């Protein structure tokens, strides 16, 4: 419960700090830069370096990649039908097709599946969600922002993206002994992500923005919280052998999570309809605290 309370309290504090004027104009830009350049790389390195794998985990890792592919196609079609502009479409792709498999997902897994299932959640989060964000997500953010870049420039942005660099370093250092104080320091840095991110989201959250974003918000949250698990559940439970169903249920459960905080921060950095992105996070995360347990009950019935 402490994780959920932290998210909600920091969201409210962000709103309060903006209204009170106690933070300088554009303070969210500094918060976002700290998250992308310091906290996310620390999380990636500290978590991925100690992961281990089996065959079932490969299918779990595949889930965020499948969801992103489904989401990109879905939002492109819907945006064309509803005449959404490029920043709105990009904001939906980043936040609607990437799930909060870490700061909401991991505590939810511990509550509903037990601590022993956390390893599956970590693999999904680090080699699934965050690797998608660091590669395809970054390409999508640049494309929908209207930024013109040559293939060489785009590759340069990818290889310089701090979380991706940290993931690469973690894989290279897998199994190598590292002083415990370094791991502890990195996790302390990583622990700042939910607080900083929700302060940033709250600072930018304006419910007046609902007026121009109702349709996009309904489409984004409807896809992320309802349609995605409906797509993933029959695919995983129908095609995978019974021996993999325990891991498959955790992957389906993670697919139902709220929009990803890190993806929202990247979307804001690329100016992809920041008011909509803030609404996707600010409304989607509290709402998911009700919808995700419903999916757990549904999974228990199949």
4 domain residue, yes or no: no
SS3 184: helix
User: What CATH number does the domain containing 149 carry?
Assistant: 1.20.1530.20
70 domain residue, yes or no: yes
- Residue-number span of the structural domain to which 40 is assigned: 27-300
Q: Residue length, the chain?
A: 302
21 domain residue, yes or no: no
294 domain residue, yes or no: yes
Contact in structure between 268 and 198 (CB atoms under 8 Å): no
**Concatenated DSSP letters of 218-251:** HHHHHIIIIIHHHHHHHHHHHHS-GGGHHHHHHH
Residue 123 CA from chain centroid, whole number: 14
Q: Which pLDDT tens digits describe the chain residue by residue (302 residues)?
A: 666 677 778 878 988 988 888 888 878 788 878 887 888 788 778 777 776 667 778 888 999 999 999 999 999 999 999 999 999 999 999 999 999 887 778 778 877 887 677 778 878 887 888 889 888 998 899 889 877 666 776 677 667 778 778 878 887 887 788 888 988 898 888 888 778 877 887 787 777 767 788 899 999 999 999 999 999 999 998 888 887 888 889 999 999 999 998 899 889 888 899 999 989 988 888 888 889 889 888 887 55
Find where tokens 């019974």 sit: 242
Find where tokens 């920091």 sit: 10
Total domains, the chain = 1
Contact in structure between 112 and 253 (CB atoms under 8 Å): yes
Query: What does pTM read for this prediction?
Result: 0.79
State the distance between the two ends of the chain, measured CA to CA, in whole angstroms: 27
Would you give the DSSP letter of residue 69?
H
6 domain residue, yes or no: no
HSE, side-chain direction, 13 A CA sphere, residue 212: 11
32 domain residue, yes or no: yes
1 domain residue, yes or no: no
Neighbours of 209 (CB within 10 A): 17
211 domain residue, yes or no: yes
Q: Where are the beta strands (DSSP E) in the chain?
A: none
């Amino acid at each position: 419960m402490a994780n959920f309370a932290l998210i909600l309290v920091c969201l409210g504090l962000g709103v309060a700090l903006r209204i009170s004027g106690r933070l300088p104009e554009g303070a969210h830009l500094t918060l976002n830069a700290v998250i992308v350049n310091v906290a996310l790389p620390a999380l990636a390195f500290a978590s991925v370096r100690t992961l281990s794998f089996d065959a079932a985990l490969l299918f779990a890792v595949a889930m965020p990649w499948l969801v992103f592919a489904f989401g990109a196609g879905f939002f492109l079609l819907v945006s064309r039908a509803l005449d959404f502009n490029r920043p709105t479409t990009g904001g939906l792709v980043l936040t609607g097709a990437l799930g909060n498999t870490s700061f909401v997902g991991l505590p939810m897994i511990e509550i509903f599946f037990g601590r022993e299932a956390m390893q599956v959640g970590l693999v999904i989060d680090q080699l699934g969600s965050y690797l998608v964000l660091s590669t395809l997500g970054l390409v999508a953010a640049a494309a929908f922002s209207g930024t013109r870049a040559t293939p060489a420039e785009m590759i340069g942005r990818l290889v310089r993206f701090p979380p991706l660099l940290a993931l690469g370093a973690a894989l290279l250092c897998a199994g190598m002994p590292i002083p415990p104080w370094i791991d502890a320091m990195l996790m302390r840095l990583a622990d700042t992500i939910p607080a900083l991110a929700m302060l940033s989201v709250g600072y930018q959250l304006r419910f007046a923005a609902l007026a121009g974003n109702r349709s996009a918000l309904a489409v984004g949250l409807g896809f992320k919280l309802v349609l995605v698990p409906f797509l993933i559940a029959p695919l995983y439970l129908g095609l995978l052998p019974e021996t993999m169903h325990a891991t498959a249920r955790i992957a389906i459960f993670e697919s139902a999570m709220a929009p990803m905080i890190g993806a929202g921060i990247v979307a804001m950095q690329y100016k992809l309809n920041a008011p909509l992105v803030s609404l996707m996070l600010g409304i989607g995360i509290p709402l998911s605290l009700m919808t995700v347990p419903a999916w757990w009950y549904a999974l228990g019935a199949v």
